[in-house]
Amino acid sequence: MHALVPAAGIGLRFGGERPKQYIEIAGKPVLAHAIEAVRRDSRVTGVTVVIAADDRWFEASTRARVEPVEVVAGGATRAESVHKGLQAIARRHPQADWVLVHDAVRPCLSAARLAQLLTDGLASADGAILALPVRDTLKRCDAGHRIVATLDRASLWAAQTPQLFPLERLRAALGDLLQAGAPPTDEAAAMESAGGRPLVVMGSPRNIKITWPGDVAVAAAWLAGIDPEEEDL
Ligand code: C5P
């Protein structure tokens, strides 16, 4: 099983002077925490990181902290970056059957949630993802912010990463969507579009995706005060 960490985003929603995966928390870039987190399970045998073609940060701030790691140049969308990473893994590691995709901006993944995902996902033909049952009531709104529908939250889950899939099937599914000009926002959506039914495995509210500036302080608090090996549901 090879891990793939897409880190080629520039963080349009976040702003700031550097991409959010390179912000330092607890003495290390967010990306270094994310890579360390996927390595905490010995079933992961290698890590490939996708960085922007014009990345100015990885070599200077991160590479030395995360070796050994393989590096690939990314694309314009997350889906394109992941697809480029999958192509490289398939070429360099023909024996890799499974791929574990984990956002560079989720530094607080615990060993317990990762282990559960790997155990359940490897037993599921179409793979698995970490996800959380939605706790708020969800509203669909029009452009003027008026509510037009209320969704039934009983069946709704918010997708997290890591996401674990058979490598070749994910590569083919993502390739088809990219060719059709319809890049998905996560890997599970590519599997679904190819007829797959991936499993959801209980994630954690601590497995936060750093998206807004305030998220950095939250992630720092989790990383400072909590043993990443402990259960975190
Ligand atoms: O932009 P968003 O928050 O959805 O990014 C999720 C992950 O995908 C991040 O780790 C980001 O670096 C990565 N990404 C990428 N290539 C892009 C856009 C996003 O690798 N073109």
Domains and CATH numbers, the chain: 2-225 (3.90.550.10)
- pTM here is 0.95
Digits of tens for pLDDT over the chain (233 positions)?
999 999 999 876 666 788 999 999 999 999 999 999 999 999 999 999 999 999 999 999 999 999 999 999 999 999 999 999 999 999 999 999 999 999 999 999 999 999 999 999 999 999 999 999 999 999 999 999 999 999 999 999 999 999 999 999 999 999 999 999 999 999 999 999 999 999 999 999 999 999 988 999 999 998 987 655 566 66
Query: 50 has which bridge partners?
Result: 6, 72
Cα of 186 to ligand 1 centre, how many Å? Answer: 10
Q: Which residues line ligand 1 (CB under 6 A)?
A: 6-9, 21, 50, 74-78, 81, 103-105, 211
Residue 71, exposed/middle/buried by CB under 10 A (0-12, 13-18, 19+)?
A: middle
Q: Pairing between strand 147-150 and 70-73?
A: unpaired
Cα of 189 to ligand 1 centre, how many Å? Answer: 15
List CB contacts of 132: < 8 A, sequence separation 6 or more.
157, 158, 160, 202, 203, 204, 205
